[in-house]
Structure 1
């Protein structure tokens, strides 16, 4: 396997991870806000509640990640949100404080947390507003 050939596409692969994660994350927010995609619940949320705050972060934070704008700080906030969701929603949900994600339904929260944490360190990859602004700044100073 030619690793150099694979390495050449690292920025695009990172962008695909960012975009797919953002779309999945946003769906959780739209489900809470609008009941879409349908889940049997959701819609009619209270804005000034933890679920309302979560929905706003998921929709608008997810949109920022999708576009790759302020990727690192937004990803840091969303990673924290998902850590909170795991420890304060999923772990207590099973009554016995089960910390195993597959047993407490927290697999998604754990995966989102670590994907967003990775974006904090890796940046947005290709196809992002952050990269466009970075290339314009470097062009202006050259």
Structure 2
């Protein structure tokens, strides 16, 4: 066991919370015209308004640790889309085209999607409740409990 293993999940959880919060702030800025935005995006406009919805909802889910992997993967994909459709046209490198935030969010959210939520995730509370309740009827095969299910 590596000496940092005991704190790895805590660090990952804090990292997830900060990244999710910042991602949600970008969405709130665009959707509601707050946090220094000049004006809110017009409802339904492509791609800005839809990207902001992904940022707000996905960022909140990542921050809370609910559906973390899926929300982070969708957020990462939306940032890759933004980079290649908006930023690359003015230069290849993020430092040239103003795409640093899109690049950083893309890669950090991808890391979260693969690494998982870490500590402090509300999703673990829901899954713990489900585990203690036992398998759902749909988890059984021909009335038999799966091998991984606790025996009663």
Please report the TM-score for the alignment, with normalisation by the length of structure 1.
0.86
Higher deviation after alignment, 71-80 or 28-37? 28-37
Q: Output the aligned Cα RMSD.
A: 1.6
Cα offset for 1:139?
3.4
Question: Gaps (5+ residues) in structure 2?
Answer: 135-149
Whichever structure has more helix as a proportion of its residues is 1
In structure 1, the partner of 2:43 is: 47
- Equivalences for 1:100-139 in 2 at 5 Å? 100-139=93-132
Q: Tell me the distance in 1 between the aligned counterparts of 2:95 and 2:131.
A: 45
Question: Gaps (5+ residues) in structure 1?
Answer: none
Select the structure of larger CA radius of gyration.
2
1:90-124, Cα deviation, whole Å (9 max, x unpaired): 111x2xxx110111111111111111111111111
In structure 2, the partner of 1:65 is: 62
Please report the TM-score for the alignment, with normalisation by the length of structure 2.
0.81
